[in-house]
Amino acid sequence: MKSIYKTILASGILLLSLNSCKKSDLTLTPTNDVTADIVYANPTGYKNSLVKLYATFGLTSPTGSDASDIGGLDPGFADFLRLFWTSQELTTDEAICAWGDTGIPELDQSTWSVDNQFLRGLYSKSILQITLANEFLRESTPEKLASRNITGADATAIAKYRAEARFLRAFQYWVLLDGFGNPPFVTENDLIGKTAPKQITRSALFTYVESELKAIETELPAVKTNEYGRADQGADWALLARLYLNAQVYTGTAKYTEAITYASKVINGGYALKANYADLFNLDNTVNNNETILTINFDGSKGTNFGGTTFLINAAISGDMNPTSFGVPNGGWLGNRTRQNLPALFPDPNGTQDKRGIFFGTKATVDAIGTFTDGLAVTKFKNVTAAGVAAPSLNGTFSSLDFPLFRLAEQYLIYGEAVARGGAGGSAAQALTYVNALRTRAYGNANGNLTAAALTTDFYLNERGRELYWEGHRRTDLVRFGKFTDGSYLWPFKGGTKAGAAIPAYRNLYPIPAADMIANPNLVQNTGY
């Protein structure tokens, strides 16, 4: 199934050009001569257009890695995962980057502005994907299908596609909800190009995302019955659990009971932990893997770009670290590594006890941002199999490693934290069982197992760091625990000083990009910017 889907992903380079827009704007109409009636003339056209929605997660443009579908953004930066990861990790205690590209030093030092190109890129990429999903939904209504003589099993299949498109749109609205709070808001029911999009409040957007995910819960394919890399009910439950865990941040009202409910649905959905933690991040992470719920798929020879896992692997290694062993023999960009807070979470950062600590280097302390060897390298992502066999890699640089958006381990930790925070419907005993399952895998034995007394709320922030580091969770976690801006928890160069300093609380949200503020008079900037 993986090889079939990867072929589809590579073909997305061409499919993305259908009905593509020149800019990321929620109200733009197609600018080429490939009309909707041509694209959606038959069931194959609908499947191809669904592929386009998924392909946008793993590609940077309709024409390949040398172009960007985000106006004004370098193609190398325009991949969704690279932008999302940068916003979630580089601004936190888990990562720091040696590069001086415009915008990166500001993210390293918590001093980003309304013009930061990486934050603008993420905002624009999410809006582009929402725009594409809206278009698909407008063209796949029962009325549209009937007008094109699409009936029977084909119409039923397309109804399932609609549920997937709604999930992908909800996911991107969650990205905006979490990072930017109050974005412009448009659905398939809004007229295109008539007026500038109106702004939605953070609490209202939470309600919308929640309602969409619950509405499609029974419409999505059952757990593990969809093609690899496509959304099913498990992905829907996993996003709902994540949404509810952060509900107090988003709305001011806690929903920990709901987080327990939906995490439990995932946990009881037939998933299981992969036996070896490191194998989750090797090239063959699709083999005997019942832990991963939904992935972003990459192809290092047919659908290449300088983001995704190509970025995660290359930016974290140097030529002195034997790039061949990472499946990128010509790679190694000397960029990202840890700040000392992350390896300090492990009893032994070389992984001889807690084997989740997959680091390289000898100096954990970051004294100079621009010195790659200040801070340990994170080497858990590899474009090779567990046996060391590499995938084909264009120019020896690009990765075919798929990235997990959701996996079972996160749901164990959502369940436990929600119980610790007072949610109903779970138990501390069950939470301990889940935590110790993770720690038994991590240690290879029961030496790291805990008792119930250890499962404080703060424990879960640290355990999430050990289990989920560099997977795009950290900023959200630190905000939820009140530690992203607060002076009670510091890391090197937080707030622009080597020792670390508190930053204003308004930075718990990113700014609406200046360009969109100028273009859309309906928008009000987030407080403080």
The pLDDT tens digits for 204-241 are 999 999 999 999 999 999 999 999 999 999 999 999 99
Q: Exposed, middle or buried: residue 60 (CB in 10 Å: 0-12, 13-18, 19+)? A: buried
Q: Is residue 339 located within the same domain as residue 191?
A: no
**Residue 34 pLDDT grade (very low, low, confident, very high; cuts 50, 70, 90):** low
Q: Per-residue pLDDT for 75 more than 70?
A: yes
In terms of pLDDT, which residue wins out, 200 or 287? 200
Q: Which of 177, 145, 143 is nearest to 158 (CA)?
A: 145
Residue 312, in any domain of the structure: yes
Judge whether 250 lies within some domain: no
Same domain for 308 and 208: no
Interval 126-137 mean pLDDT = 97
Whether residue 32 sits in one domain with residue 142 = yes
Residue type, 290: N
Q: Identify the residue whose tokens are 């659905």.
A: 187
Helix (H) / strand (E) element for 265: namely helix 256-267
Query: Can you count the helices (H) and strands (E) in the chain?
Result: 18, 8
Are residues 190 and 74 located together in one domain of the fold? Answer: yes
Are residues 65 and 183 located together in one domain of the fold? Answer: yes
Structural domain count, the chain: 2
Q: Identify whether residues 117 and 204 lie together within a single domain.
A: yes
Count of CA atoms in the C-beta half-sphere (13 A) of 86: 32
Q: CA-CA distance, 479 to 128, in Å (whole number)?
A: 26
Given CA atoms 116, 119, 122, 128 in this order, what sign does their dihedral have? Answer: negative
DSSP class of 86: I
Contact 246, 88 (CB under 8 A): no
Domain for residue 494, yes or no?
no
Would 281 be classed as within a structural domain?
no
Residue 318 belongs to domain spanning: 298-401
Q: 160, 192, 219 — which closes off a domain?
A: 219
Q: Does 313 share its domain with 184?
A: no
Q: Evaluate whether residue 45 is within a structural domain.
A: yes
Domain limit, last residue, from 401, 420, 437: 401
Average pLDDT estimate for 78-97: 98
* CATH code for the domain of 69: 1.25.40.390
Tens of pLDDT along 281-327? 999 999 999 999 999 999 999 989 999 999 999 999 999 999 999 99
Residue 103 in this model has a pLDDT that exceeds 60: yes
Provide the strand spans (E) within 297-386: 336-337, 359-360, 377-378
Is residue 265 included in any domain, yes or no? no
Region 78-96: mean pLDDT is 98
* Residues 523 and 505: beta-carbon distance below 8 Å: no
Look up tokens 């190509």; give the residue.
310
Measured CA distances, 447 to 331, 430, 452 (Å)? 38, 19, 15
Residue 261 pLDDT class (50, 70, 90 cuts): very high
H or E element: which one contains 57? helix 43-58
Q: Residue 13: pLDDT band by 50, 70, 90 thresholds?
A: very low
Both 194 and 309 in one domain: the answer is no
- Return mean pLDDT, the chain: 93
Closest CA to 219 of 166, 267, 141: 166
Q: Pick from 401, 424, 447: which residue ends a domain?
A: 401
Task: Please say if the pLDDT value at position 506 is more than 90.
Answer: yes
- Cβ contact 343:377 at 8 Å: no
* Mean pLDDT, rounded, for 378-396: 95
Angle made by CA atoms 351, 352, 358, in degrees to the nearest 5: 15
**C-alpha span between 96 and 233 (Å, rounded):** 35
pLDDT greater than 70 at residue 29:
no
- Asked if residue 377 belongs to a domain, the reply is yes
Query: Is 35 in the same domain as 157?
Result: yes
Q: Are 186 and 310 contained in the same domain?
A: no
Residues 215 and 339 in one domain: no
Residue 254 lies in a domain: no
200 and 61 inside one domain: yes
| Partners of 292 in the β-ladder | 407
CB–CB of 479/508 below 8 Å? yes
pTM for this model (two decimals): 0.94
Model confidence at 351, pLDDT cuts 50, 70, 90, reads: confident
